[in-house]
Chain A
Amino acid sequence: MVGAFGVGKTSLVRRFVHQQFDERYHTTLGVKIDTRVIDTIEEPIKLVLWDMEGADPFEKNKRPLARIRSYLEGAHGLILVADGTRPPTVKTALGLYHDFCRENQSVPAIMLANKSDLTDDWRFDDSTLPEQIGVYHTSALNGQNIEDAFTAFGATLSAL
């Protein structure tokens, strides 16, 4: 799970793995590893999620980026997370994706445009996303599309 800070990566994992939501913002420093077994038609899949600290959209602080790069080595897939109310966070997530692709073999990726419950402030634009990156509008607050997104992505990874 990669993206700018404050986009809701930890909240998405918390909702998906523990069915919980906390309105307070608690920044992640480092990485939290969580697992959840999901049922698919063929067989159960164990999804190991690395919830990484957020990158700075304006790249003022380089240290998180260095740590993120170290965690990303060996990743089987990337869940790019953006805040649908903050357009620059789409660019940050895409930047991390392209950064990864330059150094590693291409892996499957999806984009979660989070905070879809904030309809009045919604300004998500997917026109800059590569075609192969599927997009889900999600809300960690109300759980919208979270099960679908993670399950579909898990199935994609297990089919590799």
Chain B
Amino acid sequence: MKRISRRAAHYIRDELLKNERFIVIALDAKQKIKSVNQSTPGWKLPGLIRGSMLPDSLGSLLEASVDAKEPTVFPYVELNGFFVDIHVLSDKGSADLVIHDVTETHVIEQTLQQRAHENSLLSEQRAALNAELENLNEELLLRRRQAEKASAAKSQFIASMSHEFRSPITTIMGYADLLQAELPGSDNPQALQRASWHLLTLVENLLEQAREGDEHVKLNPTRFSLDRLVADIDALFRTQADAKGLDFDVNSSPEGIDVECDELRLRQILINLVSNALRYTQKGQVSVQFRHRDDKLNIRVRDTGQGIAPGDLERVFEPFTRIGGENAPGAGLGLTITRQLLKRMDGQLKIDSKPGEGSEFRVRVPCPRIRDDYKEMPVLSGTLLWVDDDLDILSLYRVVLETWGLRVLTASSVAQANYKMKHHDCPLVITDLHLADGDGLELFHALRTEYPAIEGIIISGSGIVDLSAEIEGSGIRAFLQKPIDAGMLYTEVAAVFKGGSPDPII
């Protein structure tokens, strides 16, 4: 604005600036106030008195602009609660300060800036939180991977332990079977078998607890005589009941039937329940009743023991809980495992108990009745190869299968198996899953590639391997778990050798 008319200049001064507030301070060379003029009489700032020195705050402004040739403006300076623009006009030592009140404008702009800054700070916080969340997610992912690795290692360990335990027990039970055949009427081999089942149950209890939550655990339904199971339970616990002077009654109806169920798990459940009943009963009776109806097995274990208080009825299922206190006998796993197993078997468990009077445990588990009779075993004819790195197992099943009329070639390694197959005609290969120098499944697949007509049976003691997908169309007839059910083994082997030895393969 270089030239304006006097009228315009007056208009600006009288109309546009009449609502603005100014204070003009004239200073001498020593910063002493020569005069103070307010545009608005009521608006005064303290400390601005003619003849006094300029206050420190304004003095520092003056100092900051002392060498300036042009007027210097300091916007938005806070002065005694007001916000002002301060214009410093200096000339040859003297100076004028023009203080312009801009508080209203400042309030508006400050409010906007406050919001903008708050939003910006929130965005920063959000970004920081997101970064932290990402870090946490990465850490979680890492931990999950570690947990999965640990879980896989645990599963592998359990499989390995299961295999380690089951193999020698399989040998003991197999030889007990043979002894039973050689010494009919003797109770000794049966006692050996019962003790083996009991030992297996205890081991399986521990393994079951360790593998809790592992969804890969598969049931292994086999066919067995219910009478034999009932007799085994009776014989297994009768001595213990007699020693305590208890009346021990085991009965079953109907008699003479075969059923299909995971026999090992069912025995585990029974041994857990009956041993508990005997443990907590000091006088009176323990009874075990089996009733089979509509493909369900109902078992009732009743005792006249100390009973369970209503408040403890759920606690008894917690692992390592013993109602008699810490010094009570047992590991405190029996009922925990029983409930886990029944859940897995689609079974049910109910308890009725009165403290001081006794308890009743009722189990109901799917257990279809099998009507055809596999116990008649016609003599077979043919040659098969059995591969296992456990020499006791090889010896045992060579004897067992030879009694069925078969010729059994044995191999304790992959190399031996390959050698024997080259020199003999074997339509059936039975192999353990875990061999010392390889994998039984891989061995069978390799042999089958070379001899496409062969069939196979895979044996495993690991207990948690699901190979059903491998069996489809691979020439594998069955996957059997240790301890091997002799009836199931006969059925599978007989299906290959029915009608005598097949034609030579090579």
Contact of B56 among A30, A35, A73, A74 (CB under 8 A): A35
Task: Tell me if A29 and B57 are in contact (CB < 8 A).
Answer: no
B83 CB-CB contact with A under 8 Å: yes
Which of A14-22, A46-54, A127-135, A147-155 has 4 or more CB atoms under 8 Å from chain B? A46-54
Which residues of chain A (95-143) have a CB below 8 Å from chain B?
Answer: 121
- The residue that B78 contacts in the complex, of A32, A35, A75, with Cβ under 8 A, is A32
List B residues 53-74 near A (Cβ within 8 Å): 56-57, 60-61, 63-66, 72-74
Q: How far is B121's CA from A54's CA once the two chains are assembled, in angstroms?
A: 13
Which residues of A are found within 8 Å of B280, using beta-carbon distances?
Answer: none
Proximity string of chain B (97-122) to chain A, C-beta cutoff 8 Å, 1 when within and 0 when not? 00000000010011001101110110
Which B residues touch A56, using CB under 8 A?
120
Contact call B113/A29, Cβ cutoff below 8 A: yes
Q: Does residue B367 face the partner (Cβ distance < 8 Å to A)?
A: no
A75 touches B56 (CB 8 A): no
Q: A6 CA to B106 CA in the complex, in Å?
A: 19
**B74:A31 contact, CB within 8 angstroms:** yes
On whether A33 and B60 interact (CB within 8 A), knowing A5-B117, A6-B121, the answer reads: yes
CB distance from A143 to the nearest CB of B (A): 23
Chain B CB within 8 A of A91 CB = no
Residues on the A chain within 8 Å of B83, using CB: 29-30
Interfacial chain A residues near B106, Cβ < 8 Å: 29-30
CB pair B113–A27 under 8 Å, yes or no, is yes
The A contact surface, by secondary structure, is loop
Could you tell me if A70 and B121 are in contact, using CB atoms closer than 8 angstroms? no
- Contact residue among A6, A25, A33, A121 (Cβ-Cβ distance under 8 Å from B57): A33
Complex contact B116–A61 (CB within 8 A): yes
Instruction: State whether the Cβ of B124 lies closer than 8 Å to any Cβ in chain A.
Output: yes
Which residues in A have their C-beta under 8 angstroms from that of B76?
29-31, 53, 67
User: Which of B56, B60, B73 is A70 in contact with, Cβ under 8 Å?
Assistant: B73
Query: Bound state CA distance, A46 and B61, in angstroms?
Result: 15
Chain A residues, CB < 8 A from B110? 27, 29
User: Bound complex: CA of A33 vs CA of B57, how far in Å?
Assistant: 6
Nearest Cβ on chain A to B101's Cβ, whole angstroms: 13
B496 within 8 A of A: no
CB atoms of A67 and B117 under 8 A apart: no
Which chain B residues border A75 with CB–CB below 8 Å?
64
The residue in chain A whose Cβ has the minimal distance to the Cβ of B62 is A74
CB contact under 8 A between A25 and B74, given known A48-B57, A50-B60, A73-B65: no
Using A27-B114, A31-B78, A32-B78 as known contacts, say yes or no to A74 and B65 having CB atoms under 8 A apart: yes
Which residues 2-49 of A sit at the B interface, judged by CB distance below 8 A?
5-6, 25-27, 29-35, 46, 48
Besides A33-B57, A33-B61, A70-B72, 12 more A-B contacts (Cβ < 8 Å) are A6-B120, A30-B75, A30-B78, A31-B74, A33-B78, A46-B56, A54-B117, A67-B75, A67-B76, A71-B64, A73-B64, A121-B128
Q: Which residues of B contact A (CB under 8 A)?
A: 56-57, 60-61, 63-66, 72-78, 83, 106, 109-110, 113-114, 116-118, 120-121, 124, 128
A-B contact pairs, 24 of them (CB 8 A): A6-B117, A6-B120, A25-B118, A27-B114, A27-B117, A27-B118, A29-B106, A29-B113, A31-B76, A31-B77, A32-B77, A32-B78, A33-B78, A34-B57, A46-B56, A48-B57, A53-B113, A67-B76, A70-B73, A71-B74, A74-B63, A74-B64, A74-B65, A74-B66
User: What residues of chain A have their CB less than 8 Å away from a CB belonging to chain B?
Assistant: 5-6, 25-27, 29-35, 46, 48, 50, 53-54, 56, 61, 67, 70-71, 73-75, 86, 121
